[in-house]
Structure 1
Amino acid sequence: MAKTDGNGISHNVEAVYDTIGGRAQYHATSVLIDGKPINDSKTYRVATIDYLANGGDYMKGLARGAKVAVSPNAVFDDLLYYFTEGKGKDMPLKGSPENRWSILKL
Structure 2
Amino acid sequence: MGYWYLAIAIGAEVMGTIALKASDGFSRPVGTAVCIVGYLIAFYFLSLVLKTVPVGIAYAIWAGMGIVLIASISAVIYKEIPDLPAIIGMLLIVAGVGIINVFSTSAAH
Q: TM-score, normalised by structure 1?
A: 0.29
- The structure with higher relative contact order (CA 8 Å, sep 6+) is 1
Relative to its length, the structure with more helix (as a share) is 2
Q: TM-score, normalised by structure 2?
A: 0.29
